Amino acid sequence: MPEIPLDFWDYVIFASFFLMLGGVGYWAGRGEQASSQDYFLAGRKLPWYVVGGSFIASNISSEHFIGMIGSAVVFGVCVSLMEWANVVTFSLLIWLFIPFLLSSRVFTIPEFLEKRFSLAVRQCFAVVTVLSNVVAFLATVLYGGGLALQSMFGWSLWFSIIALGIVAGVWAIYGGLSSVAWTDLLTVVVMIAGGVLVSVLGLQALAGEDGNLLDGFRVMIERNQATSGPWAEAVAQQREHLTDQETYNRLSLFQSPTHAITPAISLIPLILSVSIWYNVLNQFMIQRVLGAKDAYHARMGIVLAGWVKVFFPLISVLPGMVLFALHPEIMLRPWDEVKPAADQGYVSLIQSLVPIGLRGLLLAALFGAIQSTINSVLNSTSTILTLDIYRRLLVPSASDRHLVRVGVITSTVVLIIAIVLGGFVGELGGSLFEYAQSLYAFFAPPFAALFLLGIGWRRINSAGALATIVTGFALGIGLKLYLSVSPEAPAWLFPFWNQAALNWIVCIVVCIAVSLATPPPRAEQVTEQLTFHWSKLALSEGLGTHWYGSVVTWWGLFVVAMLILFVTFSGIVF
């Protein structure tokens, strides 16, 4: 990546951010090692704005600021679909999953799966979660952040990754979820401020000295339509890598079935697989919901997170489209050079657009995103290793203080492993964002299938769940091997969205077939805390007392805003 010149005030801003982060982390983590509930679930006392802020901060990391912006340079606005499609999952969270999971009073999702299915299902999910946390999240985030540190200070990549891991992981180890959640709230404010600054400066650069932001937006839209000049030439040169159609619309969310990252044909199965797994079953995301004060704070937190998702492409996708408008020559390179060059987009924009003195804020935003994800993943991985593996299998009688000590140790060990793996992510090549997304598409389908069927249909049993896990991962590995040795395979099978959709559908069929062919679950496995009993589900509780603070009001506006965006970028308007 290009080096970023910094001056005294950049260092002051950057250092001030980390000092503030340290102060918040220390304040929030005081006394949190007193009990396992305090350490792993923040004593179930997080307010809605912390739940929502932490939920978003945990989700945003280097693959967004670096990888997602890079993908937007190449593919255009369709990358936003990965953010905006969350309207479905967030709505399910607000109206179904939150009241359901809070009533179960569990610490972890694996704990819930044992109650609903069996110990074997719990341990399978726990092990896979730990693996995915380390490989798909921590290693990716550390690598992306290491690249940015390398460009800032000229450090070696390995030293950058090690330094970042130590600095970012300290608060998760010290104060548990409480430190993580409150530092996340500060981080998300800085991330949004820094991201908006890049977008504003980018649009101003397109508008010229005499133009305004609206003029810059018009120029950005016009050039991304790619109807003339080097922009049309860039899209034409790479068309075979972008679409199987005669033309490619960079301003449409909905792309062809063979699109590399967002084939629209797989959108619904993807929401019910990857999105459910990521936002509901993923411990490092759902943990702050389980730590909320009550149902209202949990629900309102997700509503807040939803509103951030509405606007988030302004700082994760729009800069990539601005960069394409400014430098279409990125897409005129040979294809194997396009994605690595595009991944340098965020740092390039900082270097070319942001004046010295303000670059420290942008770098604080990037590293805030990185440290928040590292903290959250470390805390959740430690929770699962401690409660679902160590206590459940090795020391059932362990005291609270003993469990907290084990949590501290496991956090440290996991961080060391992730640092080592992070140094090798770059050897895999390709886009950082696509690497992360392809791993999500591999891990998600079997567990999303058995979870959705398990809570919705009391006939689903442990045998069906185990068969689904084995089938899902066998099929996922089989597809990867088949595509690696069969270049003549159907083009629609190469996009990882399509692989996830196919895998999820097969898992649904297997789970139902095996469950029906084997004895039904025991009565204690299908209680109202473990399966949906619609008449007893507290759907109307925790909605707020006044219309202006009501979950219903703000959720309804959130859905309307998302629908407007879907229509605007459906290929009809542009």
Q: Are 499 and 266 a contacting pair, CB within 8 Å?
A: no
Q: What is the mean pLDDT of residues 518-524?
A: 93
Q: Which tokens hold the place of 17? A: 């951010």
Q: Which tokens hold the place of 233? A: 């030439």
The amino acid occupying position 15 is A
Residue 63's pLDDT band (cuts 50, 70, 90): low
Higher pLDDT, 376 or 515: 515
Q: pLDDT (tens digit, 9 = 90+) per residue, 348-365?
A: 888 888 888 788 887 787
Q: What is the mean pLDDT of residues 216-234?
A: 94
Q: Supply the pLDDT for residue 62.
A: 63
Q: Are 108 and 452 a contacting pair, CB within 8 Å?
A: no
Mean pLDDT over all residues of the chain? Answer: 86
* Residue 189: how many other CB atoms lie within 10 Å: 14
Q: Supply the pLDDT for residue 250.
A: 95
Residue 3 predicted with pLDDT over 70: no
Q: Supply the pLDDT for residue 221.
A: 95
Residue 385's pLDDT band (cuts 50, 70, 90): confident
Residues 6+ apart with CB under 8 A from 396: none
Cα–Cα dist 309/68, whole Å: 14
Higher pLDDT, 528 or 564: 564
Q: pLDDT (tens digit, 9 = 90+) per residue, 292-310?
A: 888 899 999 999 999 999 9
Cα–Cα dist 361/556, whole Å: 34
Query: CA torsion angle for 264, 266, 272, 274 (degrees, to 10)?
Result: -90
Residue 499's pLDDT band (cuts 50, 70, 90): very high
For the ranges 49-53, 317-321, 396-400, 499-503, the lowest mean pLDDT is seen at 396-400
* Cβ burial 191-200 (10 Å sphere, 16+ → b, else e): bbebbebbbb
Residue 32 predicted with pLDDT over 80: no
CA angle 272, 278, 283 (to 5 degrees): 130
Residue 4's pLDDT band (cuts 50, 70, 90): low
Q: Please state the pTM of the whole predicted model.
A: 0.87
Residue 452 predicted with pLDDT over 90: yes
Residue 171's pLDDT band (cuts 50, 70, 90): low
* Domains parsed from the chain with CATH numbers: 8-432 (1.20.1730.10)
Residue 31 predicted with pLDDT over 80: no
Residue 500's pLDDT band (cuts 50, 70, 90): very high
Residue 403 predicted with pLDDT over 60: yes
In what helix (H) or strand (E) does residue 253 lie, and over which residues does it extend? none
For the ranges 77-86, 442-451, 489-498, 506-515, the lowest mean pLDDT is seen at 489-498
